[in-house]
Structure 1
């Protein structure tokens, strides 16, 4: 855990979040600035700065949790998008790996 990481503070209970799913290794919660009707962040409880820093087991747990979130939010059949932003050029502002689960409306390609 990193003291200056907002996601680590959420995991520790030092900051609040609207939790959707929690396991021993993963936490999912609603984004505070949603870009789609369904916008949930799925994070590993262990601090990894970027997606490439995760081990394969943790990456698999994050992906499995993202699918569970899509089902819980009712977008698993209509469709959803998973997005990992890695690095400042992608707009990553919190350097604790996180997967955006986006859905609830038609999403176009390519993204902006």
Structure 2
């Protein structure tokens, strides 16, 4: 397994996170979604939520991805609710195109200042 801190590929989630969730600080895990504290956090609280099945991006989601997207958004909602309750605020973000370092749909739930 590639080391989370030194990974240089294009799909961290398929290559590292999903195959070895025990190496992560997992917040939520089921058959369709994995959520964990980011391995290189940008904010004080930084959780990443990903579908366990490869979907390239929010802009590539198709009808065949409906169950995965519903599960992803449900998990994001619950995690954001928990972060907001605990820290007083939460933000939800996804990146697209050149802004998307890992070419696997993922959503950031974050709170607090930048690290």
Shorter-chain-normalised TM-score: which range? 0.7 to 0.9
Deviation larger for 31-40 or 18-27? 31-40
Higher share in helix: 2
Query: How many angstroms apart in 1 are the aligned matches of 2:42 and 2:92?
Result: 13
SS in 1 for 2:80: helix
Query: How many angstroms apart in 2 are the aligned matches of 1:14 and 1:29?
Result: 8
Query: How many angstroms apart in 2 are the aligned matches of 1:5 and 1:15?
Result: 18
Q: TM-score, normalised by structure 1?
A: 0.74
Q: 1:85 aligns with which of 84, 95, 109?
A: 95
Which structure 1 residue ranges, 4+ long, deviate > 6 Å from structure 2?
none
Superposition CA RMSD, Å: 2.4
Conservation of the 8 A alpha-carbon contact between 1:80 and 1:102: yes
Query: How many angstroms apart in 2 are the aligned matches of 1:29 and 1:10?
Result: 9
Conservation of the 8 A alpha-carbon contact between 1:11 and 1:27: yes
Query: How many angstroms apart in 1 are the aligned matches of 2:69 and 2:59?
Result: 9
2:98 paired with 1:75: no
SS in 1 for 2:23: coil
Q: 1:68 offset after TM fit, Å?
A: 2.0
Q: TM-score, normalised by structure 2?
A: 0.73
Query: How many angstroms apart in 2 are the aligned matches of 1:36 and 1:5?
Result: 21
Structure 2: runs of 5+ lacking an equivalent? 1-8
Query: How many angstroms apart in 1 are the aligned matches of 2:47 and 2:55?
Result: 18
Q: 1:52 aligns with which of 30, 41, 59?
A: 59
SS in 2 for 1:37: strand
Distance 1:94 1:15, change over 3 A: farther
